[in-house]
Structure formats: C-alpha cells, structure tokens
Amino acid sequence: MAPRTPDYSAPALDKALDILELLADQAAGLSQTEIADAVGRNVSQIYRVLATLDRRGYLTRDEHSGRYVLSMALFDLAHPHPPVRGLVQLAAGPMRALADRIRQSCNLSVDDAGSVRVIAQAESPADFGYHVRVGALFPIDTTATGAVLTAGRTDAAAPAPSEARALRAGYLTRPDRLQAGVTDVVVAIAGPSGETIAALTVPYVATSYSTVDLDEVVSAARATAADISERLGSLPRR
C-alpha cells in the first residue's frame, strides 16, 4: 500500500485567498452572500474569514450597502518590496521632469499577475490632465500599456500590423479604447538584461490649452524611458 501523502492544506487560508482574488476583480464590491456563492461556500463558512480580513484592514465594508471591497493594504505590502520601491525611486525624478516638460501627467505600470498595475504617477502641472490612481488595475490584453508590457511574449496577443513596428521599437501610441479624447503614449522600461520590466504611459489629452503636440510628447516619453532604463543599468536599445 502506497504511503499516504501528508495533507498540508490550510482551509481558512484558502478561503481568505479565494475571497481576496475574487474581490480583486470586483471594483464595486460584493455582498457577503454574493461572495459565498462565488467561492462555492455558504455564508457561515466565510463569516469569520471576512470579519478577520476586515479587522486586519484588507477589506472595507460599506455601512450602507454591506458590500465588501478590497482596501489598499495589499498594494501597501507590495510597494515597499525592494524591486518595486527601487524602480519607483529611480523613476520619480525623470517622470516629474517629463510631466513638467509636456504639461501632461504620466504614470508607471508593471505586469501584476496578468494585469496592468499602476505603481507611480507624476501629476500634470497644468490645470487639466488625466489622473490615474496609484494601485489601479487595468486589463493587460486590451490596453496600450498591456501591449507594451507583453510585446514579444509567446502568450501575447498578436499586435495589429500598424502597431507591430512601433512595439518592436519599444513603444506604442494609440487612442485610448475607454476614454474618448485620450491618446495613450506608452514606452517600455528595460531591465538590466534588456527585458521589459515596466511601462511609462502618458495619457495625452489634446485640448485648446495643450502647449506640446503629440509628436513632441512621444519623443520626450521615449527619452525619459531610456533615462530610467539607463538608471536601472539596462543595456541600451538599438
């Protein structure tokens, strides 16, 4: 008879992780009953787990609707992690200089388990601009930032012919598919081995108050990304 494999499972931890992963994709939150149904449990099985996650600050419960949403606690845990912290620190100066030069906001994103996660932002010094919340998650397969982060990967969606050449050069410019009037200018940030580890995005808003045209924004964003990559000790792009 074959020896029995030890069972090292932790049911309560499994429940907590199931709930956190579920709510990560639910911006409006879910009720206790909806959470129980979605993770295949009954309410009594998840009640204590929800209470603990709420008490520890990983979830927030709306007093009126009773819906649970993720707090920023998980992002706060990851943010001090040395690789993320170092990247943000190195990019902060160049991003601030870029925002001041082009009079537009810019943000820095990474691939977070198959989603685009915004880890830093420099606000526009102008009276208008497009703001993206640090910590926000976006789809990786439908956004310009996601296309740059996954360019060249075997699991990435095939780029449109008009975008393939730009992606090979490490950047992409295209109208935002969700926000009318915004053109996404996205440039790859290269790591020490030349691999793409992050993306610098300028959500360019063209109005009568814009003082810098799109071509100049693209050029400035590419120069800034090259500066950040150089600071990271990466090999130069050719």
The pLDDT of residue 77 is 66
Measured in whole angstroms, how far is the alpha carbon of residue 139 from the centre of its chain? Answer: 8
- One-letter amino acid at 65 equals S
- Burial of 119-158, coded b for 16+ CB within 10 Å and e otherwise, reads bbbbebebeebbebebbbbbebeebbbbbbbbbeeeeeee
- The pLDDT value given to residue 10: 77
- Enumerate long-range contacts of 155-164, CB under 8 Å, 24 or more apart: none
The helix (run of H) or strand (run of E) holding residue 215 is helix 214-231
Of the options 3.40.50.2000, 1.10.3720.10, 1.10.10.10, 2.60.40.10, the CATH number for the domain spanning 11-71: 1.10.10.10
CB 117 within 8 A of CB 110: yes
Report the largest interatomic distance among the alpha carbons of the chain, rounded to a whole angstrom: 79
Task: Name the amino acid, one letter, at 159.
Answer: P
Contact 166, 172 (CB under 8 A): yes
Question: 77-231 adopts what CATH topology?
Answer: Beta-Lactamase (3.30.450)
Record the tokens describing residue 107, joined without a space.
Answer: 């943000």
Q: How many CB atoms lie within 10 A of CB 118?
A: 21
Amino acid residing at 217 = V
pLDDT score, position 28: 76
Domain ranges of the chain: 11-71, 77-231
DSSP 89: H
The pLDDT assigned to 238 comes to: 42
| Interior angle at CA 93, CA 92 and CA 96, nearest 5 | 85
List the chain pLDDT tens, one digit each, 238 residues. 555 555 556 788 999 999 998 988 776 789 999 999 999 999 999 999 999 999 998 898 888 888 998 876 776 666 565 567 788 889 999 999 999 999 999 999 998 878 899 999 999 998 877 889 898 889 999 999 999 999 987 767 778 888 888 899 999 999 998 888 899 999 999 988 888 999 999 999 987 677 899 999 999 999 999 999 999 884 444 4
CA–CA gap between residue 39 and residue 54 (Å, rounded): 18
